[in-house]
Amino acid sequence: MFFRIMGDMLHVASLLILAFRIRKSKSCVGISCKTQELYFIVFVARYLDLFTYFVSAYNTLMKITFICLTGYLIYLMRFAKIYKQTYDLKGDNFEYWKWLLGPCFFLGLIFNTEFTHMEILWSFSIFLEAVAFIPQLEMLRKMKEVENLQSHYVFCLGAYRVLYIINWISRFLNDEEISYISLFAGIIQSILYADFFYYYVLARLQNKKSVTLPI
């Protein structure tokens, strides 16, 4: 439970850091709105039970927080005049509706705990979250230099998933039930972050003000 809560806090921190970065710099340069749109789809698909299935006040608060913060980021980039004019629409050109949405929904149809609408959407959201960061990674690679606030956002987002994997391993060692679908998707997601993590830690050790990515 400890690792899960810490992971949630890092996840929320990543969204707050990104919102702060946009508002402070008054710029969306280098930020992928498509990644935020994918996360919004993830949260809506996963939390459709928000008002029908109550787990705890904490659980409900986290669901609302993730949906609202992600929606707010999309609003800033797509609709807020002062920010949307800085959004790199041409650079953020990954066609996720073609390469990610369809395949993830197909996986959700095949791999699920129960063949119902809610369970299929839940599995779909798990697989989609694993690859939702790909449009952002593509933009980062094009930039080559990632400034500190943005790199902190990426680090927190990746660290949240690593902590969730540790939580699943801990539950497995304690003979508690775990979701192998979530574990598999979490490992895939962590692998996608691994390259950035390496250069992020390297930049921190060298006290650099930005993260330099390889060409």
pLDDT in tens, 68-114: 999 999 999 999 989 999 999 889 999 999 899 999 999 999 999 89
Q: Are 2 and 174 in contact (CB under 8 A)?
A: no
CA distances from residue 84 to 33, 80, 125, 134, 212 in whole angstroms, order as listed: 10, 6, 27, 21, 26
Q: Coil, strand, or helix at residue 212?
A: strand
Q: Are 38 and 132 in contact (CB under 8 A)?
A: yes
Question: Number of folded domains in the chain?
Answer: 1
Amino acid 22: pLDDT: 94
φ and ψ of 147, to 5 deg: -70, 165
Which domain does 171 fall in, by range? 2-212
Give the model's confidence band at 215: pLDDT under 50 very low, under 70 low, under 90 confident, else very high: low
Higher pLDDT: 72 or 149? It is 72
